[in-house]
Amino acid sequence: MAKNVDLSHNALDLMILKCACVGLVHGYGVARWIQAVTDDLLAVEEGTLYPALHRLEERGFIEAEWGISENNRRAKYYRLTVLGRRQLRTATSSWGDLATAMGKVLGATQEPV
């Protein structure tokens, strides 16, 4: 069962950029992708997702175009820009470093000094 986790803007932005790096995707597709790749551990609500998509679009990391979804509805599709690819590389590196550090902290058995 997916959990509604309080994601930081940076974490959600990185997940959206990663999803958009493969091609056009609409907002609902982003939410489904995040839930699927996290094995239902994370669920992103519309009230969190769409402001993040707009924020990323305003920053020039993604661009949008209107299209028709698989259920024949009008939908806004997003893709990564060149600037977004650069941001994805930078953020991936930073989060990798943070994940390594957190792994060390959570695995630590020594007492604080």
Cβ neighbours around 78 below 10 Å, total: 26
- CATH number of this structure's domain 9-107, picked from the four choices 3.40.50.300, 1.10.10.10, 2.60.120.1440, 3.30.540.10: 1.10.10.10
Q: How far is CA 63 from the centre of its chain?
A: 15
How high is the pLDDT of residue 22? 87
Q: How far apart are CA 42 and CA 57, in angstroms?
A: 23
| Residue extents of the structural domains in the chain | 9-107
pLDDT digits (tens, 9 = 90+) for 41-93: 999 999 999 999 999 999 999 999 999 988 899 999 999 999 999 999 999 99
pLDDT at 3 > cutoff 70: no
The pTM of the full predicted model, rounded to 2 decimals, is 0.85
The size of the chain, in residues, is 113
**Could you give the percent of the chain with pLDDT greater than 70?**
94
Provide the sign of the torsion angle of the four alpha carbons 29, 30, 34, 40, taken in this order. Answer: negative
